[in-house]
A and B are shown apart, each in its own frame.
Chain A
Amino acid sequence: ETWNMPVPYGDTTFHTVNIREFAADVAEATEGALEIEVHSAGSLFPHGEIKNAVRSRQVPIGEFFLSTLSNEDAAFGVDSQPFLAASYEEAEKLWSAQKPVITELFAEQDLMPLFSVPWPAQGLYTEEEVLTVDDLAGLRFRAYNAALEKFAQLAKAAPVQVEAPDIPQAFSTGQVDAMMTSPSTGANSKAWDFVSTYTAVDAWLPKNIVVVNKRMFDRLPEDVQAAVLEAAAEAETRGWEMSVAEADAKKAVMAENGMAIVTPSDELMSGLKDIGATMMEDWKTSASEAGQKVLADYEAE
């Protein structure tokens, strides 16, 4: 049997590399009984349609950016709350609190999570060095979701909506002058062509997730199911390691190309964490029950 697997990112993104290894592992472990054909860079379905395509069994398996579902339930978006879980240890803790809750939510949609891998922590890209939160005031700050818009407002920056492909042009024309993203995205889009400073504020570690359609999974012979689950567990471990290595490697690439890689001042960090705390308070008042449960479990650990 051959499974088509749509993934949103290009072939050189470490998530895609990891998924191709996962596919190879499955094929090897099942001696070809299950082959997974990976369709990268959104070539099969646009990113926004992948989850629903798996749900309605157009494809059995797919990958997407987990917090795009935060409008459906706050539990999906916990990993994109600034400064809630800002290191790999915290992110791992958060994932173990989040996983059982979203597994239940996904089950309602006939979906089963296989594995989830974080992007390196999000840092700050600016032209000038940012020493305190006050330095952010007045900057045109790229915001692509509600949380970032709120974040920009609290930092007294001006939120600007720019779609990802427009980023280089937006920087070079002055439409935006600050953004938060991972070192991976920064290095891959050659951020040094338009900004000169990366401040490693490590704000949050958003995750990609691979889900499978439960009914199509259940139809597999038991030994194949076991092989898929085993390969998925390995892919999760490997993916987290790749993410750690990626964070350092991509920061090095940016440094080599002349960007200043700055460790944030204590003053900046305490200011940013205050903003994060304010946002968490807001979040708690509006989050779903499932979202609250993830947070409670995370804080209890």
Chain B
Amino acid sequence: MPALIELQEIVKVYPPALLALDHISLRFVEGEIHALVGENGAGKSTLMKVLYGLAHPDRGRVLYQGREIRFASPAAAIAAGIGMVHQEIVLVNEYTVWENIVLGAEPVGWFGQIDRPRARRQVQAIIDRFQFELEPDARVADISVAARQKVEILKLLYREVRVLILDEPTAVLAPQEIPQLFAELRALRDQGHTILFVSHRLEEVLELADRVTVLRRGRAVATLPAAGTTRSELAERMVGRAVLFQSRRVPQPSGEALLTLAGLRAVDGQGRISLHDISLQVHAGELVGVAGVEGNGQLELVHAIVGLLRPNAGRIVVAGTELTAAPILARRRVLAFVAQDRGRMGGSLSASVVENAIMTHHRLNRRLLRWRGWLLDMRAARRFTAELAARFAVSTPALAAPLQTLSGGNQQKVILGRELLLDCPVILLDQPTRGLDVGSIEYVHDQILAMRAAGRALLMVSASLEELFLLADRIVVLHRGSLVADVPVEQTTVEQVGRWMLEGVQGDG
């Protein structure tokens, strides 16, 4: 079969020193669903950006329908028939579905006015043709995330795009919404569209795609037919070694309540309730997982506990200490916090490994201080960091090297090590494995389970249900700022939690 798109020896370098694409050669065939999988940083997104005109290769050629192309911008790519749906959805909330779809390419009448009836008719025709379940007159502000994603796809179909690039389309969806998206994507393929999609959820990839290309550290290591390939085969090629997908959690009795949230309520700047009477207890030796579709109060919950957000009502008690209105330092004496965002909340990427490792310790650990805390003992700080690096298997060029020169997994080990060495009774984990590769995820999970075994109380927010079911003793579900479920993990299923995430019903909801 002739290739619709052919990549020849594509090289892309990101300064300072990231070889994002390393001589990649690939062929995409017309009318196929082609998945790109790989760990974070493997080059999936960069490859898509090169196709879409958002990044320009430093070497190599892109052939489209046999001709060499080089898009100056996404608009040029769309005009040529290649469109991309990003993870972040950017729509005008106040406009209706059809208005958003035609925005920027409106059909106009004789006097340059927008021909609204015709525009709406055209949108309805596309919706019917591809059998999307979508109401063209609904306001975007009122529709679900899944529906907004459909609007993004329809925007491209309206512009008569033949190749659709989807970047992690299922990341924002609840489990129940995924089959419908897949059905619609298959319908698109059957009508001759070519779909490239990026994902790191292997089971979805195998379910949807016709062919799968595995990227590892900037190189295309294999292209396989999805039929007959297994998840562990893919994972092995992604990581370069065998990976286990089993829970290593051992049941253990839990102790006294170490973290208590009582009637926590927060109202945002516009008067919307972001946390609605959250009450929750986490006991010693217990890991409670917080599930929820992104944007349902997880951020506010974490911020309220660490002290970035002052709740309007309710109490936070950690290990018998009232922390509701305490300054951040007072919280950090009893609360370790692993942030989801290494460069923003978890560390300073331009600071050295030592400087990142001693944060918070520099106020609490006498060993690092001289002269009543006025001076830092830099030698002790280096020794402390060396111990941390040894204990948490951090591989770093030097302790004085900037944190950004470490891989994501090693950065997270520095941060995790720093927080766990604080020796706090309560540990708050906000997506602790976000953006990590499979090997690092395993390591972080082991450390988390070790803390649970040591009798700490752990509260973990995660976007991955798989991770929650792997580690948690209890799962609570956040929906529109309320806790709608609180169940032991043995008494529920991924499907049920997914339903709560979406609909928020259990009893009175």
A and B are partners in one complex rather than unrelated chains:
no
